[in-house]
Amino acid sequence: MFWGESCAVPLIVTALLCVTAPPVAHAAQRGCPAPDWRTRPGSAVYAYTAEDVWIAPTTNGRTIGLDGTPLAGKITPGDVVRITATGRVSYGGWFNWRGTWGPAGNGRRVDPRAAGDWPFRGGRDAALVGKWRGTGTALDVGVDSGCVTVPPGAGQGLLLVPNDDQRWDNGDVGYTATIEVSHWEKVR
């Protein structure tokens, strides 16, 4: 008997179970878990939305959450946001002298005292980062931001941008970010 013959039956059974198994009850809530008071049964109304956004490699960023932008009016202080990203950006012009990196960056950090137009000094170099427009607070996005509560005063949206001080000379496909927003309201 060949190795492939002995594994064929379990693989087929596993595949059938994955295709035909009913969804698990807790899988109905997508996004991030509710913080603090919102976790008690009957204490909140839950809403979820998600959208894919493309961030061009040469751009000064892509704002989300404002009128005329993706997720307009759907990101408010107290909401929980999770951003996951894919793609790549070539940094350093035609000669690509800084390398090509995915949303996690190149493994180095930008000096917090660095001169230039860095969106996130102290953040990961050549990574996807965010900046809350209302507060100026930086957000380390990378491949997965994790679950982040939108801070007070951040009602002016979120800017997503490659962490580079000279974005004009970048190239390649850019980053695609999936933004998930979980919103809870207290029931009175």
Q: Where are the beta strands (DSSP E) in the chain?
A: 44-55, 62-64, 80-91, 99-101, 128-132, 138-140, 148-149, 158-162, 171-186
Classified as helix, coil or strand, 70 is coil
Kindly report, residue by residue over 43-87, the tens digit of the pLDDT: 555 677 889 999 998 888 999 998 889 998 888 888 889 999 999
Tell me the β-bridge partners of 55.
175
Q: Looking at residue 34, what is its pLDDT?
A: 58
Q: Looking at residue 95, what is its pLDDT?
A: 74
Higher confidence at residue 37 or residue 188? Answer: 188
Question: Domain 26-186 belongs to what topology?
Answer: Jelly Rolls (2.60.120)
Tell me the β-bridge partners of 161.
129
Tell me the β-bridge partners of 109.
124
Q: Where are the domains of the chain?
A: 26-186
pTM comes to 0.74
